[in-house]
Structure formats: C-alpha cells, structure tokens
Amino acid sequence: MPNDLDIGIHDLSFSTTEFVLPHTVLAEHNGTDIGKYHVGIGQRSLSVPAADEDIVTMAAAAAAPVVARNGSDQIRTVVFATESSVDQAKSAGVYVHALLGLPPAARVVELKQACYGATAALQFGIGLVHRDPTQRVLVIASDVSRYDLDSPAEATQGAAAVAMLVGANPGLVRVEAPSGLFTADVMDFWRPNYRDTALVDGEGSIIAYLQAVEGVWKDYERQGGRPLEEFRAFCYHQPFTKMAYKAHRHLLSLCGGDTDKGAIERAIGLTTAYNAEVGNSYTASLYLGLAALLDQADDLNDEAVGFLSYGSGSVAEFFTGTVVPGYREHLRTAANREAIDRRTPLAYAEYRELHQRSLPTDGGEHLTPAQTTGPFRLAGIRDHKRRYEPR
C-alpha cells in the first residue's frame, strides 16, 4: 500500500557523546548484580555528554554528514524533535541551522511530545514533501536522558542524535500510509519546567506503553494496514532494549501470533544493538533501532518494517516502511560503529561529576571546559546566550 508518490527516509546519520559509562562500573558502585542490567533491562553501557556537549552539538554532528553528502539547496525545512530543550522559546534547530551553514530561506521549528516527537517530525516532513516533491526536509532527533543519581531509572540513561533527510524517491525507506494512532492522558513519565531530571513511574510506564501498543495496532487495522505476517522486522521505541521484547510479545499475543522466543528475536533482535550501548536517547531511540537493523540485516530489499513510536504522557503511532532496493549504497555502517566505539569510558566519580554539572544562571560570561573532540562544541554562555562553535 505505497503512497502515490514515494516519500520517506533518503539518508540517516547518528551521533552520540564523547564519554560512556559501562554498566559494569555502575553495578560495582551500587552493588547490583550485573545480570540485572545486561539481561534484565538489556543494557550494556550509557552515553554521557561532555561538559561542552549537548543536544545541539550532537544534532549538528549527526546532520553534518547528511548535508555533506546531499547538499543543502533543497532543504527548506528543519524539524528538531527533543524533550531536552535548551530554551523555552528558541528552537534548538536554529543553532544547528547556523552551525551547518544552511540557506536562510528555510523554516526551523522544534517539536515536543516525549519520545514520540521524532515520528511527528517525520510525518510533518512527509506532508511537506507531498506538497512540493522538489523539497527535502531535515528531521533531527536529539536528546539527553537524565534521572536522579542512585535512582532506579539511572541505569537507563543515555544520549544520542539522529538526523534523517526526508524526500521523494528515498534511498533507504519508503514510508507508507496508513498510520495507527493512540493518545491517553497518563502520568507515567514527565519533567516539570522546574526540574533538570525526569520523573518516572517505572511499572506504570510499562503498562502505559503496552496499552499504547494495543491502541495503535487496533487503529492501524481499522485504517486498512498490512496484516502482521507481512512484516519482516519491527522497530520499537527502546527506553531500555528489553522493553522492545515486551512490546512485541504483547503485539503478537494480541494478534494470536507466534510468541516463541526465537520468532521474537528474529523480528526485533537486530534493532537493539546500538540502543544497548547508547542507552535511552528518547526521540532518537526508535531511529537508532532502524539504523542498527539496516546495518546488520542480510537483505531487506522490498521488505516491510513496522515502526512503533511511543512517547510517555502518552502519544503513540504505528506505521509501515518498505526498505528501498539498493538501500545498502546509502548506509553509514562504519561511521555508525565509529560513533559508538570512539567514546571514552568514565570512572564512576567522573560520571557523577558530569551528571551534577549545570550551567550558571547569573547571566555572566562562563566558558565550558574543552572536553569533547567532536566537530561542534558548546563554548560557553554570556548574557544568558549560549555560544556554539565548530572545530
């Protein structure tokens, strides 16, 4: 059931942070059996931003290779999805627009709805390309997941950014109609304006996620979507990788499908590789799963992939993408692996110091330590204004 005009993801690139905290280090600190992390939640490490690193620097680092490969002449819209916004008024995407030297004839906006925001941005972009197929839309998802130190959620932290170029005749994934949609007013995860770290009801969030799985699939069926057996693989939002397994098992049970462990592993196992090492990257998480799937699967030409995007609070969407023949020519497998492997491991005390660090709020001039080796950095603040610089 493709659209009349093939539109979807033409290019995809991601970045993560300068530092990494292995879960073995966290387990040693708090006396937790490492199996609780490696097996229980399916996580091996979590990305930690440097002092001069944030959602803007990660976003620019993710998007720069996309612009370098494809040019910027056709990019008239940048949509930045995040729940880690650095300003209550100005879009973080405006900083990225400047760092990348994009044309001034462009619209730049920021979208927010917990971890669902990037899917809203993707659908927004598809709509714009439908209106004018000569345009391309740069969709960026960038987040830093932070919880209180020594809290149950601490082990699920992470950080990453994904940049996607949306356009006609895409090189990677053609996005199909229809979508299944679901919204429910629940307080499973939230971060009030006066807090730097999120609040989460862990058990309640799992229940809300599974409720959303059921809701989006039922609506997808009502909209005339594909039957379950047509999908080769499924990408889920991964607050921790074992949540994808829980969600897919729930979907299979709902549809009377095979819930055998091997069948579930074949459907989603490859999608968890990057998230297991990066941690929860909120809006970027689902599309890190797509990157991992495309990089590792043997052959996905013309295969249907199901996408389930969930954002606490809650909003969810299920949609289909068909992998475009010849997609391997557009992959960035080596660069994706390098983004993860280049991180410097932290001792627990170093991680704790970075976690507790915050920018001054007095409006003075404050320079940030030069810790990151990436292409962009947060140089400091002056008069309450963030200053970014390329290397």
CB neighbours (10 Å) of residue 341?
Answer: 9
pLDDT single digits (tens) 349-385: 999 999 999 999 999 999 999 999 999 999 999 999 9
Residue 311 — φ and ψ, nearest 5°?
Answer: -130, 125
Q: Does residue 2 register a pLDDT over 50?
A: no
> Distance (Å, rounded) from C-alpha 96 to C-alpha 104?
12
pLDDT single digits (tens) 85-124: 999 999 999 999 999 999 999 999 999 999 999 999 999 9
Marked catalytic residue, from 18, 115, 248, 330: 115
> Distance (Å, rounded) from C-alpha 347 to C-alpha 48?
12
Is residue 83 part of the annotated active site? The answer reads yes
For the segment 294-301, the average pLDDT, to the nearest whole number, is 96
For the segment 245-259, the average pLDDT, to the nearest whole number, is 93
CA-based nearest residue to 315, from 134, 199, 182: 182
pLDDT for residue 246: 97
**Strand 136-145 to strand 189-190: parallel, antiparallel, or no bridges (unpaired)?**
unpaired
| H runs (alpha helix) in 40-116 | 55-70, 92-99
Q: Does residue 294 register a pLDDT over 70?
A: yes
Is residue 110 part of the annotated active site? The answer reads no
pLDDT for residue 342: 97
Quick one: pLDDT band at residue 257, thresholds 50, 70, 90?
A: confident
**Residues 283, 117 contacting (CB under 8 angstroms):** yes
| Percent residues over pLDDT 70 in the chain | 99
Q: How far is CA 149 from CA 263, 349, 358, in A?
A: 37, 12, 14
Angle at 299 between CA 296 and CA 305, to 5 degrees: 80
Q: Which CATH superfamily is domain 7-390 in?
A: Thiolase/Chalcone synthase (3.40.47.10)
- 297 half-sphere exposure, CB direction, 13 A CA radius: 28
pLDDT for residue 210: 97
For the segment 331-338, the average pLDDT, to the nearest whole number, is 97
For the segment 286-308, the average pLDDT, to the nearest whole number, is 97
Residue 8 — φ and ψ, nearest 5°?
Answer: 175, -150
For the segment 232-247, the average pLDDT, to the nearest whole number, is 97
Question: Which two tokens mark 1?
Answer: 């059931």
- CB neighbours of 357 closer than 8 A, spacing ≥ 6? 51
CA-based nearest residue to 345, from 46, 14, 57, 59: 46
Q: How far is CA 269 from CA 75, 250, 288, in A?
A: 34, 16, 13
- 55 half-sphere exposure, CB direction, 13 A CA radius: 24
Compute the mean pLDDT over every residue in the chain, rounded to the nearest whole number: 96
pLDDT for residue 331: 98
> Distance (Å, rounded) from C-alpha 370 to C-alpha 380?
10
pLDDT for residue 224: 97
- Report helix, strand or coil for 218: helix
* Cis amide bond preceding 49, omega within 30: no
Quick one: pLDDT band at residue 258, thresholds 50, 70, 90?
A: confident
pLDDT single digits (tens) 152-173: 999 999 999 999 999 999 999 9
For the segment 51-55, the average pLDDT, to the nearest whole number, is 98
Is residue 53 part of the annotated active site? The answer reads no
Marked catalytic residue, from 10, 23, 53, 83: 83
Q: Does residue 133 register a pLDDT over 60?
A: yes
Marked catalytic residue, from 10, 97, 237, 330: 237
- Which residue, chain included where needed, has tokens 């109609």? 177
Q: Does residue 1 register a pLDDT over 70?
A: no
pLDDT for residue 3: 45
